[in-house]
Structure 1
């Protein structure tokens, strides 16, 4: 199987995958973590995986979060930091992300979203509006938000987790951007209120999880709530 990284992203590479794992390079560090969709066999021998990985995620048996993510710990080699930065560039868009080893195997960025960042950037730039208003729901660490801001949008970023909002601000600052509007709230509740206010946006971005919790304990269940939130949008 031939593995292709995004051709213009020098700081990311999918080195190998298979047997329910993936081996990736983020900047100068290589990490090994579970990937339930990698049902095929690995291309590289186990010894190469062991030698290459600077950090390996070890699942704790029976430990998962409510959204199904594995919970565990990272085993790090000497010199592997808990946090580091990577860059992403597309045309005039220059983004910088702070990465970190979390207890749910994530590092703060989903590499497959890079195609969406490019699309968002191009779309915002193509709008015949001086400062398009863009709403990013379930916004996580803000890759889409800073892509839209980089293109000149007036961005409202909504996520239910305060710590994730803080992480997003770090990415904005690292990318030399400013003035994103941060909202810590349940996305569905926020949309209901915006509709009542008659608020309108030139673009809405949403990538909802299968399951989530709002800051006040609100439940988000994709199959139960997706129709309403799409209608509100």
Structure 2
């Protein structure tokens, strides 16, 4: 089991965390938003958080998910950040949404670097990569920039449009966009006999497909993994799955993956985390990944 954090990048900083919130800098702007795993105390005072933040997310008392942003006059919405490392040069549009998200999950930067190395190492001229629950396309852009043919699947059409904008801003092209339920798409690809060199999954805890299909992580993940196993190329391959769901242990994911794929080569699994500037480690998901060739790991922390 590993604890992995992305290499520092100039457009993002986790400043502080605690009292179920996190204080982050995305480019030129500092945001305060809920973080259910930050159960410890803040290191900075509430007044300091208020002074630094350009935008603070306030939950709607009638909804556990939705809310509104309290912003300063100089807060821009949308705005842009860049990611320039690990052989990648990407540009993302960020925006303040009613679900607290901004269109980017910075902890995924290590997975972007991993899939870039995997694609570059393949003995295949144009590897085929499938990105499921692909959101605004960070992994899709990284895979495309590495030289892959990318199929990007998400159930929400406006999110697909956002991802397409990110592709344009990153000066990329020819990503295949699919608005569909991930489970249905994978099963259909299996019946067609299609295969992919790389598969990426970052499923939510709960969700709805474009036709109202219900997704519940604990109920559907096992079957989805089995269907994905049928799509993965047998010779040149990589697989990445990331889960962010409270109480979902990396041991559960390890059991699922070993049962589905058997003894895979070069497996890595554990937790992704971010250090805030006061050395508090904020867990941000469990992951499992493997590839047909050895790939150097990201920044790994010991289990001390």
Q: TM-score, normalised by structure 1?
A: 0.94
The answer to whether residue 143 in structure 2 is matched with residue 148 in structure 1 is yes
Deviations 1:52-73 (A, max 9, x none): 0000101111313xxxxx2110
Query: Helix, strand or coil: the match of 1:63?
Result: coil
Query: Helix, strand or coil: the match of 1:81?
Result: coil
- Match in the other structure for 2:295: none
- Match in the other structure for 2:105: 110
**How many residues align structurally?**
224
| Match among 127, 148, 166 for residue 161 of structure 2 | 166
- Match in the other structure for 1:42: 42
Deviations 1:65-109 (A, max 9, x none): xxxxx2110011011012000000123310110000000100000
Checking the alignment, whether the CA contact within 8 Å between 1:32 and 1:56 is kept in structure 2 is yes
Taking the aligned partners of 2:195 and 2:175, their CA distance within structure 1 comes to 17
Deviations 1:1-35 (A, max 9, x none): xxxx8544100000000011100000010001111
Taking the aligned partners of 1:125 and 1:27, their CA distance within structure 2 comes to 29
Show structure 1 runs of 4+ deviating over 6 A.
none
Checking the alignment, whether the CA contact within 8 Å between 1:17 and 1:23 is kept in structure 2 is yes
Flag the 1:9–1:132 CA change in 2: closer, same or farther, 3 A.
same
Query: Helix, strand or coil: the match of 2:74?
Result: coil
| Match among 104, 118, 124 for residue 123 of structure 1 | 118
Taking the aligned partners of 2:86 and 2:30, their CA distance within structure 1 comes to 26
Taking the aligned partners of 1:8 and 1:209, their CA distance within structure 2 comes to 25
Q: CA deviation at 1:156?
A: 0.1
The answer to whether residue 181 in structure 2 is matched with residue 186 in structure 1 is yes
Checking the alignment, whether the CA contact within 8 Å between 1:8 and 1:89 is kept in structure 2 is no
The answer to whether residue 204 in structure 2 is matched with residue 203 in structure 1 is no
Flag the 1:137–1:12 CA change in 2: closer, same or farther, 3 A.
same
Taking the aligned partners of 2:87 and 2:21, their CA distance within structure 1 comes to 34
- Match in the other structure for 2:133: 138
Taking the aligned partners of 1:119 and 1:89, their CA distance within structure 2 comes to 15
Taking the aligned partners of 2:43 and 2:206, their CA distance within structure 1 comes to 33
Query: Helix, strand or coil: the match of 2:111?
Result: helix
Checking the alignment, whether the CA contact within 8 Å between 1:8 and 1:90 is kept in structure 2 is no
- Match in the other structure for 1:29: 29
Larger relative contact order (Cα-Cα within 8 Å, sequence gap ≥ 6):
2
